Amino acid sequence: MDKDEKREAIVEKSSEMFARYGYKKTTMDDIANACHIGKATLYYYFKNKEDVFRSVMNREIEIFKEKMLDAISKEKIPQDKFRIYVMTKINRIKELVNYYTTIKDEYLEQYAFIEQERRDFTNFEIQTLKNILDEGITKGIFKNTDTKITAIVLVHALKGLEYPWTVEQDMIDIEKAVDLMLPILFKGIER
């Protein structure tokens, strides 16, 4: 196993540890033991637990981005791209809900630690939606608006739906909710 493969294996096992025990309770000893390596070897790859956690988060974010861009690229029209963006986002968050549930109580304590990663992902989402909106304008499907501001508003509006749509998921059928929301978004609620 080369250095990159070893590092990736440590990140994968660490992800399981953080999901099971949370950030606070997981120690470098726990990670080393779970990976069947010495603590010195772990420190060869990572400076500290924060460095390991950052790598776990970056891995999850990259997987998230890849899934989203792959799903969007398969759609032909901007409305379907927007719909698949929303569905991919919600489904990926649902996949990670156990992980988020484990660390959510620690989230506020770690806020400064993960804020940059969250900001970077939000910027990725804004750019992704801006691209979809720009395509819709170019194709004459959407009216000409400031796509950057519109994308910012949409991303933040959707963030408000993340918690109820993933944690309180039994309350509504997400796909049906998205299908009801999109015509309102695209055409408004006026008669």
pLDDT of residue 175: 80
113 and 23 Cβ atoms separated by less than 8 Å = no
Which of 21-35, 59-73, 94-108 has the weakest average pLDDT? 94-108
All domains in the chain, ordered by first residue = 54-187 (1.10.357.10)
Prediction pTM value: 0.82
**SS3 label, residue 156:** helix
Where residue 5 falls among pLDDT bands split at 50, 70, 90? very high
- ∠ CA(156), CA(161), CA(162), 5° rounding? 95
Task: Tell me how crowded residue 116 is: count the other CB atoms within 10 A of its CB.
Answer: 10
**Angstrom distance (rounded) from CA 120 to CA 146:** 21
Kindly tell me if the per-residue pLDDT of 165 is higher than 80: no
48 and 61 Cβ atoms separated by less than 8 Å = no
**Between 104 and 128, residue with greater pLDDT:** 128
Kindly tell me if the per-residue pLDDT of 104 is higher than 60: no
Which of 64-68, 100-104, 143-147, 159-163 has the weakest average pLDDT? 100-104
**Alpha carbon 125 to chain centroid distance?**
9
